[in-house]
Structure 1
Amino acid sequence: MTQATVPGPIDDLTRAGVSVWLDDLSRERLRSGNLAELVATRGVVGVTTNPTIFAGALSGGDAYDAALAELTGTDVEAAVERITTDDVRQAADVLRPVYDATGTVDGRVSIEVDPRLARDTAATVATAERLWATVDRPNVMIKIPATVEGLPAITAALAQGISVNVTLIFSIERYRAVMDAFVTGLEQARAAGHDLAPIGSVASFFVSRVDAAVDAALTDVGTPEALALRGRAAIANARLAHAAYAEVFASDRWQALAAAGAHPQRPLWASTGVKNPDYPDTLYVTELVAPGVVNTMPQGTLDAVADHGEITGDTVTGRGEEAAATLAAVEAQGVSLDEVTAQLEAEGVTKFEVSWDELLTTTKTGLDAAGA
């Protein structure tokens, strides 16, 4: 079941089987009714957040003034958790009708564990448990990064019936490990007697950051062959990931879980805002259309797709060999995708840590001002 939208590209995207999620959240969106409006008129059926989004929300406007005044005297980290979980809980309530209408598949809202814990399995699991209990909504997802240390945390959370959004996935190899962690977690959840149907998961495969990094390396190479490959690696990487997804979720191992009521871990295309102004601003939407995937878009990308996106049907399925050939051509220019994706993961964790520190600083400033 899908949300009703006005006729146009977003409706076309939804009819093609893509779930449209908004990569943004703020108290102002909640207070103004903007999020509810996007759900009602733009086909938005989910929300993702991250430390950067919350840092931006806290630093702009006066929407959090009352909350900060109420939290005066509170430890700054406790205040951040209170503010962010309150926002996510309210958003989950807005999306709850979608969650119910889609049989628990969509209507999800994600909140990320403290990114400083990305290399600490036990602390990640403990934080996931606390966030899950604090938000206390069945349609929340806890975001856990796909670091090596994050993989067992993903399994452990799912085994307890906690829905998980796995974030910061860049490489096919790591994506396969993420899918294995998911399947293992559901097998453990089944053994523990959990109902598998409400346990949701998406695997957030990052797109535009791959092009930004690979394009820079190809530009450094500078040959005509290298320059001709710019703007192609990210889409090829995502299409190859989709081929891996199709393979894993056709396996006998998965079918046994599906028979027990489990839903697959859907690929989610993240980082879909175009970073190179020379590329179409809808590139990472129109070229990644496939049934059963999620595309989480910042507001600007959502607006661009609604205005002039051209949805021509499935642009992913069956293109794995073509994608592999594209990535092989990139490698042949001396650009190591393994090195690029490893660097992107490290940078991604660091960027979220910086945003988390900004969030703490902004919150402390607000608490101090409120208590002055």
Structure 2
Amino acid sequence: MFLEDIEFSLWVDFIEREFIHTTLKNLIEQNIVNGATSNPAIFKNAILNSPAYKEQLAKLSGDAKAKYEALAIEDIKMAADVLKPLYDKGDDGFVSIEVDPRLAYDAFGTVEEAKRLLAKIGRDNVMIKVPVTPAGCEAIEELIRDGVNVNATLIFSPKQADECLDAMERGFKSGSQSHAVLSIFVSRFDRKLDPYLAQKGLPVGRVGIMNAAKIYNMIKKRNLPHTKALFASTGVKGGNYPSHYYISELVAPRAINTAPVETIEAFVKEGDKRARLPISNEEIEKFFIQLKANGIDMKKVYDELLHEGLDAFVQAFEEILKELS
């Protein structure tokens, strides 16, 4: 863990073949990161832009999805092996792979694909990423019941988090020893709302943080076994914020932040390492009452961000398949 006194971890939000054996290894050796995450957009950039995949790709046959899975599975195996010593000593050590994002509304298909991918990867320290839709929650419950480690992703709203926690709780009742994280997306709120808030003379750069703080409190209150909050979408894109802003503002006990390498390096060098969470529910509620009073419909924002996130992952996935077909 990066901050052992409060059990705060940094995971790198990037996977690429050469990176795994160079930068990732170095970050682990320096006790900076102890996990890694991936998503369809990350794999798209890696597979389509890095020469490291050309040799394996030339030997592959089958349809485009089979080729994609062969490439992604090889990367996940490599990353899992590099992270295994951390996993063995109970210091996270997980790497995540997402199911086909087109299965977001198919619980059966999600479970089936998750188990198929895990069988091919053959590593204990892998988390299956499942978007938190109603079907995703069904899948999460079954996967946890069956002992699969789960990264519940694309969480924007407290309602999503609550439904996900319910599903996880039902899964854990089997006595499952699964590990789970709830990936709470952060920066996209501010990219969407900052221009409007600035026009109103209201503070900017706070909606994503306060929303994440609210969901963090929910996770903490549930106190499910082997379950943590993971703050995601924490790279800064636009706005006048330091590059480490969404890590520094979300340092929290028993929590994880997954971010691009550059964001992590900036935080290590100049970020604020003091715990900023928890924030009281009263302060959080006051903040959202103010937003509502200024015409912001958070339910609409939550719904839009979830659909945008799902669409972006599906688009990235289909672009990979098109290139590989």
Pick the TM interval, shorter chain: over 0.9
TM-score in terms of structure 1 length: 0.84
Q: Is the 8 A contact 1:236 1:324 kept in 2?
A: no
Deviation for aligned residue 1:277: 3.2
Equivalent residue, structure 1, for 2:189: 210
**Secondary structure class of the residue paired with 1:68:** helix
Superposed counterparts of 1:17-36, under 5 Å: 17-30=7-20, 32-36=21-25
- Mind listing any 5+ residue stretches in structure 1 that lack a counterpart? 3-10, 191-195, 255-261, 365-372
Equivalent residue, structure 2, for 1:7: none
Equivalent residue, structure 1, for 2:242: 280
Q: Is the 8 A contact 1:232 1:326 kept in 2?
A: no
RMSD: 1.5
TM-score in terms of structure 2 length: 0.96
Deviation string, structure 1 residues 58-89 (Cα, Å, up to 9, x no partner): 12231001110110x32211111111011101
Equivalent residue, structure 1, for 2:45: 56
Deviation string, structure 1 residues 123-178 (Cα, Å, up to 9, x no partner): 11111111121111110000000012211011011111111100000001111111
- Mind listing any 5+ residue stretches in structure 2 that lack a counterpart? none
Deviation for aligned residue 1:15: 4.0
State whether structure 2 residue 98 is matched by structure 1 residue 119.
no
Equivalent residue, structure 2, for 1:367: none
Equivalent residue, structure 1, for 2:218: 244
Q: Is the 8 A contact 1:209 1:271 kept in 2?
A: yes
- Return the letter of the residue paired with 1:214: L
Deviation for aligned residue 1:331: 1.3
Query: Please, which of 51, 76, 80 is the counterpart of residue 92 of structure 1?
Result: 80
Q: Is the 8 A contact 2:244 2:263 kept in 1?
A: yes
Deviation for aligned residue 1:38: 1.3
Query: Please, which of 294, 297, 305 is the counterpart of residue 267 of structure 2?
Result: 305
Equivalent residue, structure 2, for 1:341: 302
Equivalent residue, structure 1, for 2:147: 161
Q: Is the 8 A contact 2:253 2:277 kept in 1?
A: no
Deviation for aligned residue 1:318: 4.2
Q: Which has the higher contact order (CA 8 A, sep 6+)?
A: 1
Equivalent residue, structure 2, for 1:350: 311
State whether structure 2 residue 36 is matched by structure 1 residue 47.
yes
Deviation string, structure 1 residues 7-50 (Cα, Å, up to 9, x no partner): xxxx5x454421110000001213x4321111111521000000
Q: Is the 8 A contact 1:108 1:140 kept in 2?
A: yes
Deviation for aligned residue 1:317: 1.6
Q: Is the 8 A contact 2:64 2:324 kept in 1?
A: yes
Q: Is the 8 A contact 2:132 2:155 kept in 1?
A: yes
Deviation string, structure 1 residues 304-345 (Cα, Å, up to 9, x no partner): 11221121x221124332122112111111101111011100
Identity %: 37
